[in-house]
Amino acid sequence: MAETNTGGALLANETEGGEGVTDMIRTSGLVKRYGKVVALDGLDLAVPKGTVFGLLGPNGAGKTTAIRILTTLLEPDEGSVEVAGLDVRKKPGRVRERIGLSGQNAAVDEHLSGYENLEMVGRLYHLGRKRSRARARELLDRFELSEAGDRPAKTYSGGMRRRLDLAAALVAEPEVLFLDEPTTGLDPRSRVQMWETIQELARGGSTVLLTTQYMEEADRLAEDIVVIDRGRKIAHGTSDELKTQIGGERVEVVVASSSDVPAAQAILETLCVGDCQFDEQTRTLTAAVDGGVEALGQVLRRLGDRNVAVVDVGLRRPTLDDVFLSLTGHAAEVADSTDGSSDGSEDERSDVREKEAVR
């Protein structure tokens, strides 16, 4: 029993080797400041073993900062952090043996081939030559990179790099996997494949914490979701719970002519119960309503009375985008693959080096 009793209440979860641990990830009162910027402002998280957890938030919300702390790459200013039953601040080396990380920017060695990258990771994890080679081939195959496997990674497209990076995070079959925006920059097909892979990993017993700005992704993958904004938790629940929190269904109407938008807007405003949104450009109007189909009928009748031509109409449940909008008052910006955290100040290590540190 190498672990000592560190006394904190949180560490009641801590046991040797993670045996019997129910929450594979726990943070309590996590605070991280970068100068005047408070990146994390008292974050509490708990992720049960074998589940996929979604950390959701817009650019600059603190997602990458949380992942860096959880993966031992960054020291928090305050709070406690536990991964696989181990105190991350006291046992960083032990934690690293148990986790995999796929950072926000794919961290692959450009000069090595996909195969060599994966084999190197296996060797760094002391899998031995034979096992490292077999694992590299296996993962190339799984991520449909076999054909490109012997080419230098610098010839890979962005999506291929992302897949190689995730493959690298899986080499040692970690129990806890941290994925920072795993599907940013992937085409729709690769995104779906990535989702399937993540689901498969969780089914196999891995615990996955993923960050995302794609509401659809959290909706589809995560059993439990925490939404953060400016380092603070602003909502927590299953996607259904979050949707319920912000009310019922939405009526969505696309009018034929932009000159009809004001009239349609006036009608929807009298009928909607919560948020009403209007997009002039796409001539789309969305309104939260009570009463489902009946409300839809009412909207259509009134539009008809005013001779507003409608090209499309529908009733839908709120998306997580709606949840986000109503919680934060601003829409979730979907960034490209650039790293929002790179503002050139303190702690500007490259993800490649971070990755090596984890390995």
Ligand X SMILES: Nc1ncnc2c1ncn2[C@@H]1O[C@H](COP(=O)(O)OP(=O)(O)OP(=O)(O)O)[C@@H](O)[C@H]1O
| Interface contacts to ligand X, rule CB under 6 A | 34, 37, 39, 57, 59-65, 104, 213, 335, 339-341, 343, 345-348
Alpha-carbon distance of 209 to 137, in angstroms, equals: 26
- Does 64 bind Mg ion (CB under 5 A)? Our answer is yes
Least distance CB 310 / Mg ion (angstroms): 40
- Residue 336 interacts with, from Mg ion, ligand X, none (CB under 5-8 Å by kind): none
Q: HSE, CB side, 13 Å, CA atoms: give it for residue 6.
A: 21
- Residue 313 interacts with, from Mg ion, ligand X, none (CB under 5-8 Å by kind): none
Contacts of 127 (CB under 8 A, 6+ apart): 135, 171, 172
Question: If we measure between CA atoms, which residue out of 103, 117, 123 comes closest to residue 152?
Answer: 117
Q: Which is nearer to Mg ion, 275 or 339 (CB)?
A: 339
Q: Are strands 52-56 and 224-229 parallel, antiparallel or unpaired?
A: parallel
- Residue 278 interacts with, from ligand X, Mg ion, none (CB under 5-8 Å by kind): none
Q: Which is nearer to ligand X, 34 or 278 (CB)?
A: 34
- Does 183 bind Mg ion (CB under 5 A)? Our answer is no
Q: Which is nearer to Mg ion, 18 or 231 (CB)?
A: 231
Alpha-carbon distance of 259 to 256, in angstroms, equals: 9
- Residue 286 interacts with, from Mg ion, ligand X, none (CB under 5-8 Å by kind): none
Q: Which is nearer to ligand X, 122 or 185 (CB)?
A: 185
Alpha-carbon distance of 140 to 166, in angstroms, equals: 11
Q: Which is nearer to ligand X, 181 or 252 (CB)?
A: 181
Contacts of 211 (CB under 8 A, 6+ apart): 54, 55, 56, 57, 63, 64, 66, 67, 179, 180, 181
CA distances to 25, 28, 46, 128, 259 from 14, rounded to whole Å, are 11, 14, 13, 30, 63
- Residue 103 interacts with, from Mg ion, ligand X, none (CB under 5-8 Å by kind): none
Q: HSE, CB side, 13 Å, CA atoms: give it for residue 328.
A: 24
Interface region with Mg ion, contact rule CB under 5 A, candidates 28-36, 56-64, 265-273, 284-292: 56-64
Least distance CB 43 / Mg ion (angstroms): 14
Residues that bind Mg ion (CB under 5 A): 63-64, 104
